[in-house]
Amino acid sequence: MKLLEIQSSVRLEKSISRALSHEFIEALQNSHPDFHHQQQDVGTNPPAHPTELWTTANYLPPESRTLEMATILTESDRLIAELLWADRLVLGVPMYNFSVPSTLKAYLDNIVRVNRTFTFDPQTHTFQGLATGKKAIAIVPSAGNFVVGTPLGEMNFCDPYLRSILGFIGIEEVEIVPIPNQFMDEEIRQQEVATARLNLMNLAASW
Ligand SMILES: Cc1cc2nc3c(=O)[nH]c(=O)nc-3n(C[C@H](O)[C@H](O)[C@H](O)COP(=O)(O)O)c2cc1C
């Protein structure tokens, strides 16, 4: 198993997405003797946003790029190589203003690149993901309850976005483990954590 862990909470010790991701990864490590693990902490160390030069460079074939263009794509190239290396992704994705943290969006802007993680066929106007053969789990805590299917679930732009963007680059198997109600009474909060932990341990046994 080659696992890429992507964390996007700005919190460290207090982060529930980080804590449960680590429990899940530990469970996987214990059951997979051939276990390799890379970490990408975009919450504390976000990648640079794309710029005009970056965008121009991205749409040119590598042999036509200037040195400056090649240099500006270095970070994105490194992130893509790491993503393509992995066969499993574990994402810690706290809900921030009903969507994913902006740092994770910056990461996605760096790794969703034509001819690297997807292709576009101008004849048929179709897209094809290139980051195939992977599964992903996203652990999504939130202060309130915005779980899809509940009364406020339509405000949840994390789950549909993560499924769409990961599916677009070829990662179709996406499990979302929500941890709602994290700003509620301690008893309710802990109950949600226990439910998510149980879900994760069940997933770890078959993932
Ligand atoms: C900038 C910011 C925006 C947030 N927006 C929402 C939100 O839209 N809905 C919600 O339920 N919780 C929101 N929260 C609360 C977090 O989702 C919640 O604290 C979660 O537990 C954070 O994940 P972590 O424990 O891994 O750090 C927000 C927190 C921050 C810092």
- What are 112-160's pLDDT values in tens digits? 999 999 999 999 999 999 999 999 999 999 999 999 999 999 999 999 9
Is the distance from the beta carbon of residue 43 to the nearest atom of ligand 1 less than 6 Å? Answer: no
* pLDDT, the chain, mean: 98
Within 8 A by CB and 6+ apart from 95, the residues are 140, 141, 142, 143, 146, 156, 158
Q: What pLDDT, on the 0 to 100 scale, is given for residue 189?
A: 98
pLDDT of residue 180: 98
- Per-residue model confidence (pLDDT) at position 92: 99
Q: Which of 23, 97, 99, 189 to mutate to test the pocket of ligand 1 (most atoms within 8 A of CB)?
A: 97
User: Which pLDDT score, from 0 to 100, does residue 174 have?
Assistant: 98
SS3 194: helix
Query: Measured from the CB, is residue 94 less than 6 Å from ligand 1?
Result: yes
Phi first, then psi: what are they for 127, rounded to 5°?
-105, 150
H or E stretch covering 119? strand 118-121
User: What's residue 45's pLDDT?
Assistant: 98
> Each residue of 81-101: pLDDT tens digit?
999 999 999 999 999 999 999
Mean pLDDT (whole number) for 65-84: 98
170 lines ligand 1 (CB under 6 A): no
Separation of 146 CA from ligand 1 center, angstroms?
Answer: 11
What domains does the chain contain, in order, with CATH numbers?
2-206 (3.40.50.360)
Residues contacting 207, CB < 8 A, separation 6+: 28, 88, 135, 137
Please state the rounded mean pLDDT for residues 45-53: 98
Q: pLDDT value at position 82?
A: 98
Grade residue 27 by pLDDT with cuts at 50, 70 and 90.
Answer: very high
Q: In what order do the strands lie in the sheet with 173-179?
A: 36-41, 2-7, 88-92, 135-141, 173-179
